[in-house]
Amino acid sequence: MTPTNVTHPGTEPGLARNLLPWAAGGVGLWLAWRWLRQSRQISLRDKVVMITGGSRGLGLVLARQLADEGAHLILCARDGPELERAFDELAGRAPRVMAIPCDVTQREQVEIMIAVALARWGRIDVLINNAGTITVGPVETMLLEDYEVAMRTHFWGPLFMIQAVCRGCASVARGESSTSRPSAAK
Ligand SMILES: NC(=O)c1ccc[n+]([C@@H]2O[C@H](COP(=O)([O-])OP(=O)(O)OC[C@H]3O[C@@H](n4cnc5c(N)ncnc54)[C@H](OP(=O)(O)O)[C@@H]3O)[C@@H](O)[C@H]2O)c1
């Protein structure tokens, strides 16, 4: 037998012809899936993103990433000096940054903060309710007050934020002006 007559399994010309449409179909499907995925991605460039608890931890990590994506940031937390450090770090990184000291468990503080933010920038596109504290311990040592603090921080705080942002944005859309206290914002 001469070498030209040798065939290896899977290399017959007929088999290659049969596989070609499947390969082309596979590439087409992959390209369609990639296009669909990209078209569903939301760009945060030039969006106004409010992050509660943006002064450290997960909130600050999110703020850095969003700054790199070109989002305008509004941060809040209770500890003023720590919030100011976050502001200083992000000021050169995001297009615009606003930092407002606020305890999200205090409804009036939340409403003032959102009024200040809307009076200055006119909109909030994304709200990230990140602020929180984790208190853990054996159940026999936990006090009712611990649960109350957790509920205020993780339930009522986010609800105050959602209500204030939705209502504030709706009133801006209706052309109503919001009450502002610019001195509270950095
Ligand atoms: N780290 C984890 O393993 C983990 C796991 C599951 C869920 N989480 C949740 O993820 C979120 C962030 O956690 P983290 O680890 O990044 O916590 P972190 O480092 O302690 O940061 C919490 C942030 O929230 C702020 N904050 C807390 N209470 C607030 C209040 N009443 N009003 C306004 N700001 C408040 C803090 O600032 P001030 O103290 O100055 O207010 C700080 O900026 C929390 O909601 C936490 O429950 C974390």
Q: Which residues line ligand 1 (CB under 6 A)?
A: 52-53, 55-59, 76-79, 82, 102-105, 130-134, 153, 157
Q: Could you tell me the CA-to-CA distances from 27 to 15, 21, 22, 30, 34 in Å, in that order?
A: 19, 10, 9, 5, 11
Alpha carbon dihedral 83, 155, 113, 73, in 10-degree steps, equals 50
Residues 32 and 83 in one domain: no
Same domain, 132 and 79: yes
DSSP reduced 3-state for 40? helix
| 34 and 90 within one domain | no
Ligand 1 geometric centre to CA of 29 (Å): 43
Same domain, 150 and 81: yes
Full domain range(s) for residue 20: 3-40
Q: Is the domain of 36 the same as that of 52? A: no
110 and 153 belong to one structural domain = yes
Beta carbons of 54 and 130 less than 8 angstroms apart: yes
- Tally of domains within the chain: 2
In a structure prediction context, what are the per-residue pLDDT tens digits for the chain, which is 186 residues long?
444 455 555 556 677 778 888 888 889 889 988 888 777 778 999 999 999 999 999 999 999 999 999 999 999 999 999 999 999 999 999 999 999 999 999 999 999 999 999 999 999 999 999 999 999 999 999 999 999 999 999 999 999 999 999 999 999 999 987 554 434 345
pLDDT for the residue numbered 38: 77
Q: Report the DSSP pairing between strands 48-52 and 72-77.
A: parallel
Residue nearest atom 17 of ligand 1, based on CA coordinates: 57
How high is the pLDDT of residue 9? Answer: 54
pLDDT value at residue 7:
52
At residue 50, the pLDDT reads 98
- Asked if 178 and 118 touch (Cβ cutoff 8 Å), the reply is yes
Q: What is the pLDDT of residue 12?
A: 61
Q: Check whether residue 152 and residue 111 sit in a common domain.
A: yes
C-alpha closest to that of 168 among 159, 179, 153, 158: 179
pLDDT at 1: 46
Q: For the chain, first and last CA: distance in Å?
A: 87
Q: Do both 82 and 167 map to the same domain?
A: yes
